[in-house]
Amino acid sequence: MITINEHYLKLQKSYLFSDIAKRIAAFQESYPDTDLIKLGIGDVTRGLPKASISAFHKAVDEMADDTTFRGYGPEQGYEFLRKAIAVNDFKSRGADISADEIFVSDGAKCDTGNIQELFTQDTRIAIPDPVYPVYLDTNVMAGRTGDFADGRYNGIVYLDSVKENQFVPSLPEEDVDLIYLCFPNNPTGSTITREELTTWVEYARDNKALILFDAAYEAFICDKSLPKSIYEIEGAREVAIEFRSFSKGAGFTGTRCAYTVVPKECAAHDAKGNKQLIHGLWNRRHCTKFNGVSYPVQRAAEATYSDEGKTQTKALVDYYMKNAAMVCTTISKLGYDYVGGKNSPYIWIDGKIDSWDFFDMLLNKAGVVCTPGAGFGKCGNGYIRISAFNSYENVTTAMTRLTETLS
Ligand code: PLP
């Protein structure tokens, strides 16, 4: 008899986006002429950098010719891309990461979800609340949690990210082994300072713990004093794995390219307490279960590091950040507290009422769709997330409508 992994039965239905979709459908049926503006989903809306498109086309043409055709590539990614990443994303910022510590993949979602399988079942996990749900759900699937009760899974150490700590969680009181951090944060848009990140690195070193640092939104950091990578912090190489993506900064959400950094010193321990290097184990896993990102996509990603690619990628980020600045100005004029929007495309707004009530009010009175914070965890209730990923014109109209509704 085939039996299933019962841990899957513990998973909470992801009601968030289906509930949003249902409410939108009901609204549109009642008001078919209202032009809804969606500032809810974290997907980019603008075309890829021109430099990436040219490189993409050229690589596709290479695939058509027997003399330049490429079949399976290296699972870890082509050397040209790994080198470009190491030089531009790390060495340029004083972070000592080499090309062979980079594992190119088709998404930070897959990598942040898959990495947990390297660790034992009884690993004590710390996860922020609110949170990008992948970290939590993949540990539930793996059986590292108890049941769901009162908005939380038993067995997880939740790191509250709330107004009182400026949405940067404090160190846990109990011992933990594996810590998920994400900065700039989804959903709150908060950032972490060098000093705060140093505290986490020291915690991990002192407690033989490991930090999984999700930097999918690093491209939006404008403040030069903020770290873009955890490897800008001394001592992080031994205790941190970093996840990056071309999705948000360069607009690759539909093209798919990301990477994970596993420094060679980074270690976990075996049952006898001996250090085991993670690099070789992740390499083994990656090569066994993944067959590489397509050649044209890797060429398109490489092109984001050319001079024109850098300028065009920055222009994309600047475009969204102009939207974010407009949202911040409007929200603050209306007297609402918010975080994010300065080094992040997300603005996390204290709606002062239940998240879903605020969502309904914006939908029904302003024709604007946001994301209710409650969908990201217990600490998200009372908040809504507004995303800067839309056209400047739509965001301008949405902010005019918000002002009329909330004034
Ligand atoms: N990490 C965070 C925090 C995200 O918000 C997202 C996407 O929304 C991802 C990772 C996924 O990135 P990718 O498109 O590379 O899978």
Q: What is the pLDDT of residues 158-198, one digit of tens each?
A: 999 999 999 999 999 999 999 999 999 999 999 999 999 99
- Lowest mean pLDDT of 12-26, 50-64, 110-124, name the range: 12-26
The answer as to whether 237 is a domain residue is: yes
Mean pLDDT of 107-135: 97
- Lowest mean pLDDT of 11-20, 126-135, 294-303, name the range: 11-20
233 and 193 inside one domain = yes
Q: How would residue 16 be classed by pLDDT, with cut points 50, 70 and 90? A: confident
The Å distance, Cα 280 to ligand 1 centre, comes to 25
Q: How far apart are alpha carbons 394 and 226 in whole angstroms?
A: 30
Index of the ligand 1 atom closest to the CA of residue 247:
14
Q: How far apart are alpha carbons 4 and 6 in whole angstroms?
A: 6
Q: What is the pLDDT of residues 83-106, one digit of tens each?
A: 999 999 999 999 999 999 999 999
212 and 298 inside one domain = yes
The answer as to whether 255 is a domain residue is: yes
175 and 26 inside one domain = no
**Those residues with Cβ within 8 angstroms of residue 273's Cβ, 6 or more apart along the chain or in another chain:** none
Q: Is 51 in the pocket of ligand 1 (CB under 6 A)?
A: no
The answer as to whether 230 is a domain residue is: yes
Q: Which of 306, 340, 374 is the last residue of a domain?
A: 306
Nearest CA to ligand 1 atom 1: 216
Give yes or no for residue 14 having a pLDDT over 90.
no
Give the residue, out of 247, 261, 376, with the most ligand 1 atoms within 8 A of its beta carbon, to mutate for a pocket test: 247
Nearest CA to ligand 1 atom 12: 108
pLDDT score recorded for residue 347: 98
Give yes or no for residue 74 having a pLDDT over 80.
yes
Residue reference for tokens 């006898």: 272
Index of the ligand 1 atom closest to the CA of residue 253:
14
- Burial letters 196-234, b for 16+ CB under 10 A, else e: bbbebbebbeebebbbbbbbbbbbbbeeeebbbbbbbbe
Average pLDDT over all residues of the chain? 96
pLDDT score recorded for residue 114: 97
The Å distance, Cα 26 to ligand 1 centre, comes to 29
| Encoded tokens for 70 | 């490429």
The Å distance, Cα 66 to ligand 1 centre, comes to 36
Q: Is 132 in the pocket of ligand 1 (CB under 6 A)?
A: yes
**E runs forming strands in 246-370:** 258-261, 267-269, 275-277, 338-340, 346-350, 368-369
390 and 267 inside one domain = no
The number of C-alpha atoms within 13 Å of 50 and in the hemisphere containing its C-beta is 5
The Å distance, Cα 65 to ligand 1 centre, comes to 34
The Å distance, Cα 163 to ligand 1 centre, comes to 24
The Å distance, Cα 216 to ligand 1 centre, comes to 6
Give yes or no for residue 15 having a pLDDT over 80.
no
Give yes or no for residue 7 having a pLDDT over 90.
yes
Q: How far apart are alpha carbons 380 and 242 in whole angstroms?
A: 25
Residue reference for tokens 């914006």: 362
Q: What is the pLDDT of residues 19-38, one digit of tens each?
A: 899 999 999 999 999 899 99
381 and 287 inside one domain = no
pLDDT score recorded for residue 119: 98
87 and 103 inside one domain = yes
Q: What is the pLDDT of residues 312-327, one digit of tens each?
A: 999 999 999 999 999 9
| CATH number for the domain that contains residue 214 | 3.40.640.10
Index of the ligand 1 atom closest to the CA of residue 252:
14
| CATH number for the domain that contains residue 348 | 3.90.1150.10
Q: Is 212 in the pocket of ligand 1 (CB under 6 A)?
A: no
The Å distance, Cα 101 to ligand 1 centre, comes to 20
Index of the ligand 1 atom closest to the CA of residue 257:
15
Give yes or no for residue 126 having a pLDDT over 90.
yes
Q: Which of 306, 334, 356 is the last residue of a domain?
A: 306
The answer as to whether 299 is a domain residue is: yes
Q: What is the pLDDT of residues 260-278, one digit of tens each?
A: 999 999 999 999 999 999 9
Is 142 within 8 Å of 156 (Cβ atoms)? Answer: no
Nearest CA to ligand 1 atom 5: 186
The Å distance, Cα 214 to ligand 1 centre, comes to 8
Which amino acid is located at 203 in the chain? Answer: Y
176 and 166 inside one domain = yes
Q: What is the pLDDT of residues 283-338, one digit of tens each?
A: 999 999 999 999 999 999 999 999 999 999 999 999 999 999 999 999 999 999 99
Q: What is the pLDDT of residues 193-248, one digit of tens each?
A: 999 999 999 999 999 999 999 999 999 999 999 999 999 999 999 999 999 999 99
Mean pLDDT of 340-360: 96
The answer as to whether 1 is a domain residue is: no
Q: Which of 306, 336, 369 is the last residue of a domain?
A: 306
Q: Is 356 in the pocket of ligand 1 (CB under 6 A)?
A: no
Could you give the C-alpha distances from 41 to 218, 226, 230, in angstroms and in order?
18, 26, 27
| Encoded tokens for 145 | 């949690």
**Those residues with Cβ within 8 angstroms of residue 329's Cβ, 6 or more apart along the chain or in another chain:** none
pLDDT score recorded for residue 271: 93
270 and 125 inside one domain = yes
The answer as to whether 212 is a domain residue is: yes
Nearest CA to ligand 1 atom 8: 42
| Encoded tokens for 179 | 């810590």
pLDDT score recorded for residue 136: 95
The Å distance, Cα 109 to ligand 1 centre, comes to 5
Q: Which domain holds residue 24?
A: 6-47+308-406
118 and 266 inside one domain = yes
110 and 181 inside one domain = yes
The Å distance, Cα 173 to ligand 1 centre, comes to 28
pLDDT score recorded for residue 13: 79
Q: Is 118 in the pocket of ligand 1 (CB under 6 A)?
A: no
Percent of the chain with pLDDT over 70: 100
Q: Is 245 in the pocket of ligand 1 (CB under 6 A)?
A: yes
300 and 312 inside one domain = no
The Å distance, Cα 211 to ligand 1 centre, comes to 17
The pairing of beta strand 338-340 with beta strand 275-277? unpaired
